[in-house]
Amino acid sequence: MRYAAGMFQMWTLVLAVFLFAAPQAKPLFNFQEVMIPMRDGAHLQTVILAPVDQAKPLPILLKRTPYGVPDRAWDTPPSAYRELMKDGYILVFQNLRGRFKSEGVFKLSSQVNLNDPADMNETTDAYDTIDWLVKNVPRNNGRVGIFGVSYDGLTAGLTMLHPHPALKAVSEQASPVDQWMNDDDHRFGALRLSYDFEYAVMEQSDKNENKHFEFDTYDTYDWYLKLGPVSNINAKYIHNSLPYWNDTVNHPDYDDFWKREAWVNQLHSTPVPNLNVAGFWDQEDPWGPWQIFSHSAENDPKHENFMVAGPWYHGQWSGAAGERLGAVTNGGHETGREFRENIQAPFFRFYLHGEGAKPAWQASTFQSGSNTWRTYASWPPPSTARNLYLHADGSLSFDAPKSRDRESVEYVSDPARPVPYRARPISPTYPGGDWRTWEAADQRFVDGRPDVATFTSAPLDRDLTVTGAVAAELFASTSGTDSDFVVKLIDVYPEDAVKNAWNPDAGPAPGAYANSLNGFELPVAMEVRRGRYNTSYERPAPLVAGKPTRFAIPLRDRDYVFLKGHRLMVQVQSTWFPVIDRNPQKFVPSIYQAKDSDFTVAHQRVYCSPALPSHVTLPVIP
């Protein structure tokens, strides 16, 4: 024992000498923190990281964020910046107005009124920041780019409403554009309850912190169900302390407040080259980048409006390798790294350094199923619309219903026992957990539930390539006077999905088959529509009990190959909890003011007849 102790002391001394004698890693950047003045006198906390070995004037790459800025120089660039730093940039990070040391009030808002000189917003703050940077940062080349994901993507996108002349490149990535219609907070007016509430807590409960709500149970499904009506969040927990949450519940319909939030409606051109980036399985902002791309395309004479999409959850392309999405691999591709190396870095290199080539495509996607990168001269590419029909016997096919077939499928929707949106227990949205990958999770966890109607095709006899906008047209009725309808388009893997996957010499393919994909039900597209807004988003109206009603349900843009031997599946349900708040299924003026007594069981019917042919429309590529 004494020998062992003595040897330990000797090696401790040797290690200490080695550590003190070893050269310490030198920071790659010079660190500077400044407070940049805005036009109204507020000052915003800004960190500037200039390369230590800068040999020539470099462009500035800006990120504006509510989440905090670096507090020191980097020894090693984070993975999100490694490909970019090979070209050289002066990096600038700025806390938004009212966050951390930045002065002013953080409104958690994307409202911009450029006609009001007194309106201070993210567009004017970005303009003032860029103006200060190009005049005050030593050895910049006069060119500025801005990029970011999610809220950071929003602040990048908002610069296009009034860009500074020095702004030469924008890459908005997963930017929200219309918080009532889609993206973070709602899906066509259906409240994204757990996300909206937990995000408001994170960003508005403490100016100096990204705070998380402290649940008293791990399974938030149970917590939100015991919560009861949405009004109890204020009544029992936050007591009107979060302005954005108050705005949400005080504006249930698509009124002027939400229309002012829809900043994309002010965008009708491509004033600055813009690289839009979206994830096909983005659980937060899957819609916004496509809308920005579409609005920018209205006037794009120089063809500088680009779209990139891939098999990613929210922001996965930014720093992760991207070799898999949940349990599903991407055919050996590190899609995140490939995007950063082959698309993002060349984009900024061309527009900020003046080197390399302009993208020769309008859209570039990683097509899941075939697991290949695709480029398109225009988006969407030419396709043939094919209707995939729901049949009352539970089948799914491209053959329209016949008159002799059963005409409908029924199920019972009980708001006291809502369908969970992912397998329980459901961890809190933040600070992580399985929230990121739930849109790619195996849907077998709802198999057999009596409140989920399922329709399945025969195995495909050839590959089916779907590229472009997918949409569902559901004919349904309810015994109530309000209702939600959720439609999921699913790729069902064959039972021999992992057959011959094992190499007796090398073992299993790395990480690919830790969880068997036999029979895996991969959601390709999912969406919800709220019945009260079926005819008007501004003026909700009750449904007529028992009356067949058409529900048009957009399922967004996709690029996916359903492989030979796989089956297609459609699931229909009326609850998706707690990511979507519970519909009482009885019409009330505002669901956010509903009482316990308003929630009622409803008998739902999905029609599958020649006169009422529920179907999903697929843009099929030959």
Q: What pLDDT, on the 0 to 100 scale, is given for residue 265?
A: 98
- The one-letter amino acid code at 70 reads P
pTM here?
A: 0.93
- Angle, CA 64 vertex, CA 297 and CA 361 arms, to 5°: 30
Domain ranges of the chain: 29-177+262-376, 186-260, 384-497+512-621
Torsion of CA 229, 232, 238, 242, to 10 degrees: 40
Kindly state the average pLDDT of the residues 457-472: 98
Percent of the chain residues topping a pLDDT of 90:
90
Q: Do 29-177+262-376 and 384-497+512-621 have matching folds?
A: no
- String of DSSP letters for 419-454: PBSSSSS---STT-GGGTTGGGS-GGGGTT-TTEEE
Give residue-wise pLDDT tens across range 252-271.
Answer: 999 999 999 999 999 999 99
For residue 2, pLDDT over 60 is answered with no
C-alpha distances (whole Å) from 69 to each of 45, 176, 344, 370, 406 are 8, 21, 22, 39, 61
Kindly state the average pLDDT of the residues 55-81: 95
Q: What pLDDT, on the 0 to 100 scale, is given for residue 23?
A: 56
- Angle, CA 427 vertex, CA 424 and CA 432 arms, to 5°: 140
For residue 5, pLDDT over 50 is answered with no
Query: Where does 479-614 show beta strands of DSSP type E?
Result: 484-492, 502-503, 507-508, 521-530, 549-562, 567-573, 602-607
- The closest of 155, 603, 199 to 409, measured between CA atoms, is 603
What are the two backbone dihedrals, phi and then psi, of residue 529, each rounded to the nearest 5 degrees? Answer: -125, 140
Banded model confidence at residue 357, pLDDT cuts 50, 70, 90: very high
For residue 43, pLDDT over 80 is answered with yes
- Angle, CA 583 vertex, CA 435 and CA 543 arms, to 5°: 135
- String of DSSP letters for 359-395: -S-SEEEEEBTTTEEEEESSSSPP-EEEEEEE-TTSB
Kindly state the average pLDDT of the residues 382-391: 98
For residue 87, pLDDT over 50 is answered with yes
Give residue-wise pLDDT tens across range 182-220.
Answer: 999 999 999 999 999 999 999 999 999 999 999 999 999
Q: What pLDDT, on the 0 to 100 scale, is given for residue 404?
A: 79
Q: What pLDDT, on the 0 to 100 scale, is given for residue 26?
A: 78
- Asked if residue 256 lies in contact with residue 169, where contact means CB atoms within 8 angstroms, the answer is no
Count CA atoms closer than 13 A to 76's CA, side-chain side. Answer: 4
- The closest of 442, 459, 297, 321 to 380, measured between CA atoms, is 297
Give residue-wise pLDDT tens across range 544-589.
Answer: 999 999 999 999 999 999 999 999 999 999 999 999 999 999 999 9
Banded model confidence at residue 27, pLDDT cuts 50, 70, 90: confident
- Asked if residue 576 lies in contact with residue 528, where contact means CB atoms within 8 angstroms, the answer is yes
**Domain 186-260 belongs in CATH node 3.90.420.10:** no
- The domain defined by 384-497+512-621 folds into Jelly Rolls (2.60.120)
- Which of 75-89, 125-139, 293-307, 529-543 is predicted with the least confidence, judged by mean pLDDT? 75-89
Q: What pLDDT, on the 0 to 100 scale, is given for residue 14?
A: 37
Mean pLDDT of the chain: 93
Q: What pLDDT, on the 0 to 100 scale, is given for residue 17?
A: 38
- The domain defined by 29-177+262-376 folds into Rossmann fold (3.40.50)
Q: What pLDDT, on the 0 to 100 scale, is given for residue 513?
A: 40
Q: What pLDDT, on the 0 to 100 scale, is given for residue 499?
A: 54
Q: What pLDDT, on the 0 to 100 scale, is given for residue 496?
A: 82
Report the chain's terminal Cα–Cα distance, integer Å.
76
Give residue-wise pLDDT tens across range 291-347.
Answer: 999 999 999 999 999 999 999 999 999 999 999 999 999 999 999 999 999 999 999
Give residue-wise pLDDT tens across range 486-525.
Answer: 999 999 999 986 654 434 444 444 444 445 799 999 999 9
